[in-house]
Amino acid sequence: DVAEAVEKYAKYQQILDEGRILLYRSDGETVIMQYMIDHPFLQYDRHLVDHMMAGMLTYSRNLTGIDLQCREVMFVHDAPADISEYKRLFKCTPRFGSEINALTFDDAYLRLPILQPNRELLIVLERYAQEVLVRLRHDDSHTGKTRRMIIDVLRGSVPSIRSIASKMNMSVRNL
């Protein structure tokens, strides 16, 4: 069902993109799928958010074969001059200037079946995804160490190559 697919996507999304996060929750009546950008390299970009929100809805429709209706669509950014395309795609009037970027659906959405589930393929792909996550978390290669160092240093500012090299006890040339 969709609940399992959303849960697995949320669990393994960092393999594809560690800076974008999908959170979902249900209160028994409404499902909220919240999209966040949480990465020092990524700045808030309206176009990126629009793309991800439209993609989540389109993927959900393709996954179920149902033309899902959102209860509500919320965007942090201000409304563009023309919101007609938003209304057409989301089938409701989005709320702009919200505190979160989110799609909301009836809770029944989570119980919808996947059109063409393949348990055998799921087992293979999930095993591989778990292996990749372990490698990402324990990457002791030069590239992995450099990447983690840059992310740690970037909290709030853009570091110079000199400062990264210094923190790694290396010369700029060797970095």
pLDDT digits (tens, 9 = 90+) for 55-102: 989 989 999 999 998 999 999 999 999 999 999 999 999 999 999 999
Cα(28)–Cα(155) distance, integer angstroms: 37
The candidate with the shortest Cα–Cα distance to 98, out of 117, 76, 119, is 76
Mean per-residue pLDDT, 38-52? 77
What tokens were used for 89? 């795609």
- Whole-model pTM? 0.70
Instruction: Report the SS3 class of residue 14.
Output: helix
CA dist., res. 19 & res. 171, Å (int): 29
pLDDT at residue 18, rounded to an integer: 65
For 104, residues 6+ apart whose C-beta sits below 8 A from its C-beta are: 30, 31, 32, 33, 70, 71, 72, 73, 74
- 3-state class of 66 per DSSP? coil
Instruction: Give all strands of the β-sheet with 30-37 in edge-to-edge order.
Output: 20-26, 30-37, 101-106, 72-74
pLDDT at position 64: 93
Question: What is the distance between the alpha carbons of residues 76 and 97, in angstroms, rounded to a whole number?
Answer: 5
- Report the interhelical angle of 2-16 vs 46-64 (nearest 10°): 140
Which whole number is the average pLDDT over 98-107? 94
